Chains A and B, each alone.
Chain A
Amino acid sequence: MMFPFLKTAIHNAFTKPSTEAFPCPEGEGLGHYRGRIFFNPESCVDCGMCIRVCSPAAITVEREEVEGGVNITRTFDLTSCTFCATCEDFCEEGSIKMTTDYHMVGTKHEDLIVSGTTFKKKVLGNLVCDQDNCIYCGLCARNCPQNAITVDRTTKTWTVDHEKCVKCGICIGKCPKKVLKFEEPKEEGVVFDAEKCVYCTLCAKKCPVGAIEVDRATKTWTINRENCIKCGACVKGCPKQALSMGPIED
């Protein structure tokens, strides 16, 4: 053959250049590339597992006390991240996702930050009345927007329907003798059922703060309530449903 390159030359004359276009067309040839982090603060339960597993310490958390709860802001610093996706793997709630967005170019530090704020509501206990000092004036019942309180002056009874009560606190402000208050809520936490437990130690392994200790030899299960952050990882990880979230009984 006289011109062995002729076939290739003609073929190349009619094909697109092999050079990639700039800017790159969206979503082409990205495959499993791990790019910008997506964080959904709505489903985050603030268990802190992502911070614990992050090797370059790229995740920080800030807490701000506001009315009725706490604002928890989680910040992912992309200039510090190794994009190993360990946080995504360990997130029980699936709040962290690695996207294929590689456009992580910035002139300022703020361009390369991903953050989200979770609002954690402070739980109030049931409304209670100190009936020794109550004068049964009925002001609380009259001002209740849900008609949850009933006061009977003749029989000297004060009752509240906990189903109806929305814990707005209006009655507390109206009470002339200041005898109404919300009782301290019974502390919520992990409840252990010794009958179902097989002492497999999975809960201790799942716990992000290492608050649970299980001894297979002596069949004991102990939890450090001070360290527990009530994330629910142990409850989900228990194969025997021996753990649940609920009011703690001492």
Chain B
Amino acid sequence: MFNKLINDSAAKSPWLYHINSGSCNGCDIELVACLTPRYDAERFGFKLAGTPRHADIVVVSGPITSQSRERLIRTLAQVPEPKCVVSLGSCPKSGNVFKGSYSVEAPLDNYCHVDVSVAGCTPKPEAIMEGLYKAALILKEKREAMHK
């Protein structure tokens, strides 16, 4: 019963963890704008977590530079199941204008399964909200499948 209470509560408040893997900061400030009272993603229970071990949804931005690749893989491994990975902007999915560079190791699909991708350079906060909302629904499904 206690477990059920925890699971039901966790489904209502997915915690976010944001990884910047060499992003230009465009997507990062839009993600933060999303959490401000103007767009208010917190109405869906989203909250930025301080450590990947507390996170449910991981938001990745940036084209995954060689320097950040190892750290990205390590951080993603620390996120407990069920987790949901959201790629923010064009960079993590393809490398954008940096693709083919010696120091860029996109796409993100090589390292983990990407559940939701938000396109745009940068995406509007409304689009990010839509993506996060979709991720929360996927997370809920994953959680239900896990506890069956």
Chain A residues proximal to chain B, CB less than 8 Å:
18-20, 22-24, 33, 35, 55-58, 77-83, 102-107, 109, 112
> For residue A83, which residue of chain B has the nearest CB?
B121
> For residue A113, which residue of chain B has the nearest CB?
B119
Decide: A105 and B116 in contact? CB cutoff 8 A.
yes
Contact with A along B38-78 (1 / 0, CB 8 A): 11100100000000000000000000000000000000000
B138 within 8 A of A: yes
Contact for A19 among B38, B123, B130, CB less than 8 A? B38
> For residue A101, which residue of chain B has the nearest CB?
B127
> For residue B107, which residue of chain A has the nearest CB?
A79
Chain B interface residue number, banded:
20 to 34
Using Cβ atoms and an 8 Å threshold, which residues of chain B touch A102? 120, 123-124, 126-127
Contact for B90 among A24, A33, A79, A105, CB less than 8 A? A79
Shortest A89–chain B CB gap in Å is: 16
Shortest A166–chain B CB gap in Å is: 46
Q: Which of B72-98 contact A (CB under 8 A)?
A: 90, 93-97
Shortest A176–chain B CB gap in Å is: 60
> For residue A108, which residue of chain B has the nearest CB?
B117
Shortest A194–chain B CB gap in Å is: 42
Cα-based distance from A104 to B117 in the complex (angstroms)? 8
Q: A57-B99, A79-B94 are in contact. List 14 more A-B contacts (CB 8 A).
A: A19-B38, A19-B40, A35-B120, A56-B96, A80-B93, A80-B96, A81-B90, A82-B90, A102-B123, A102-B124, A104-B120, A106-B116, A106-B119, A107-B115
Given A19-B39, A24-B126, A105-B134, A56 contacting B99 (CB threshold 8 A): yes
Decide: A20 and B97 in contact? CB cutoff 8 A.
no
Chain A contact residues: helix, strand, loop or mixed: loop
Shortest A52–chain B CB gap in Å is: 15
Using Cβ atoms and an 8 Å threshold, which residues of chain A touch B129? 22
B31 within 8 A of A: no
The 9 closest A-B pairs by CB, nearest first: A104-B119, A79-B93, A80-B94, A24-B126, A78-B119, A102-B124, A105-B131, A56-B97, A82-B121
The residue in B97, B129, B133 that gathers the most chain A C-beta atoms within 10 A of its C-beta is: B97
B118 within 8 A of A: yes
Cα-based distance from A89 to B126 in the complex (angstroms)? 27
